Amino acid sequence: MSRLLIIGCGGVAGVAIAKCCQRSDVFTEICIASRTKSKCDAVKEKLQGTTSTVITTAQVNADSKEELVALINSYKPQAVLNLALPYQDLTIMDACLETKVDYIDTANYEPEDTGEPVWRKEYEKRCKEKGFTAYFDYSYQWAYDKKFKDAGITALLGTGFDPGVTSVFTAYAKKHYFDEIHYVDILDCNGGDHGYPFATNFNPEINLREVSANGSYWENGHWVETKPMEIKREFDFAQVGKKDMYLLHHEEIESLAKNYPEIKRIRFFMTFGQSYLTHMNCLENVGMLSTEPVMYEGKEIVPIQFLKALLPDPASLGPRTVGKTNIGCIFTGIKDGKEKSIYIYNVCDHQECYKEVGSQAVSYTTGVPAMIGASLVLQGIWKKPGVYNVEEFDPDPYMDALNKYGLPWVVDENPALVE
């Protein structure tokens, strides 16, 4: 019998929960706990009767360690799957430590208030020392390693698609195709169309912060930083076609650079249409992406949070989104003294996802790997005391599960390369 506590009940959680319910053999009981309990109850209502997984729900403020500890102590799960926002990573890890329960997430820590003086000072020091200016980095969560080891519990970081599947693709490429990997290009293409002039495919605040920030890539042991959208390439994606893609900073670059010091360069590209970029630039220019509170008619509002209230809810894009995503990695390295390249990728169809679980492919491609990571921890297959990124475990059971549970992958042994 296993019991999983899932925190958060948004787009990604909706898929992960539906997928857990398809695997009642592993997930015998789940509790969905979030800020807004009515959303958890609605998901439970939809799924119970279709599954033998026993579903309960709870209200929790995941910014409060005390509330989390009380919930964990009363529900007594074996693991907590954090599908709230990156802002809650540390309080949830603290609660897991106190209750000695395994921890799993899909995104690394980022503070909600990037103007907070203590955090800001630390951040500015890190920018100078490390050479990239993204608000998120792994240092906060990696710092829990000893505490998790001492407590005898596992933290599995970043089991979404990117990070997550892209990192497992790297471990798989290294295990089965290369003696040494020298170059990695991670390509994230969303060829879907939702019909709105502007909407984000996942949480708008997290998405717009990421995309409007400086880009960076890892080369020869250090970070090279670029202006936002400075590096553009065109790529012909299987089952999608030619798309413009732009270099972004992305969190798996940091962990892959640490775990594979042999890699000379790691870049991350994401596709964007011109309409998306024009809207984003305009919103940024007028200050709507700011996280600094402003006073409006006697009330403090945070511009990006106000914008979130105006934009379509990502969870509502499912029925209207058509087209496919194609996400994967091109690896170049050495096998038996010869240079070679391979491309491992998955293609996912928005409407197929909607038919299966009622969500578009961006939530689907994150929710399925979240379920897989949680299942491997719960089954003890990926379990050792400490804090780990997904590429630090054996990739084979994860790759098998991707094929089985909705994200089949392809290996192209003669790929086009990115200039």
Kindly state the smallest distance separating residue 84's Cβ from ligand NDP, in Å.
4
Question: Of 140, 136, 173, 163, which Cα lies nearest the Cα of 387?
Answer: 140
* Residue closer to ligand NDP (CB basis): 102 or 105: 105
* Residue closer to ligand NDP (CB basis): 35 or 44: 35
* Residue closer to ligand NDP (CB basis): 202 or 246: 202
Q: Which residues of the shown chain bind ligand NDP in the complex (CB under 6 A)?
A: 8-13, 34-36, 39, 60-63, 83-86, 88, 106-107, 160-164, 202-203, 206, 314-315, 366
Kindly state the smallest distance separating residue 286's Cβ from ligand NDP, in Å.
23
* Residue closer to ligand NDP (CB basis): 36 or 278: 36
Kindly state the smallest distance separating residue 158's Cβ from ligand NDP, in Å.
6
* Residue closer to ligand NDP (CB basis): 151 or 188: 188
Kindly state the smallest distance separating residue 167's Cβ from ligand NDP, in Å.
10
Kindly state the smallest distance separating residue 233's Cβ from ligand NDP, in Å.
21
Q: Which residue is nearest to ligand NDP (CB)?
A: 10
What is the three-state SS of the chain?
Answer: CCEEEEECCCHHHHHHHHHHHCCCCCCCEEEEEECCHHHHHHHHHHHCCCCCCEEEEEECCCCCHHHHHHHHHHHCCCEEEECCCHHHHHHHHHHHHHHCCEEEECCCCCCCCCCCHHHHHHHHHHHHHHCCCCCCCCHHHHCCHHHHHHHCCEEEECCECCCEHHHHHHHHHHHHCCCEEEEEEEEEEECCECCCCCCCCCCHHHHHHHHHCCEEEEECCEEEEECCCCCEEEEEECCCEEEEEEECCCHHHHHHHHHCCCCCEEEEEEECCHHHHHHHHHHHHCCCCCCCCEEECCEEECHHHHHHHHCCCHHHCHHHCECEEEEEEEEEEEECCEEEEEEEEEEEEHHHHHHHHCCCHHHHHHHHHHHHHHHHHHCCCCCCCEEEEHHHCCHHHHHHHHHHCCCCEEEECCCCCCC
* Residue closer to ligand NDP (CB basis): 167 or 341: 167
Kindly state the smallest distance separating residue 336's Cβ from ligand NDP, in Å.
34
Kindly state the smallest distance separating residue 252's Cβ from ligand NDP, in Å.
8
Torsions phi, psi for 84 (to 5 deg): -85, -140
* Residue closer to ligand NDP (CB basis): 170 or 332: 170
And the tokens for 385? Answer: 């005391």
* Residue closer to ligand NDP (CB basis): 3 or 39: 39
And the tokens for 210? Answer: 């990421």
* Residue closer to ligand NDP (CB basis): 314 or 406: 314
Kindly state the smallest distance separating residue 340's Cβ from ligand NDP, in Å.
27
Kindly state the smallest distance separating residue 371's Cβ from ligand NDP, in Å.
13
Q: At what angle do helices 361-378 and 395-404 cross, to 10 degrees?
A: 130
Kindly state the smallest distance separating residue 6's Cβ from ligand NDP, in Å.
10
* Residue closer to ligand NDP (CB basis): 86 or 386: 86
CA–CA separation, 383 and 89 (whole Å): 19
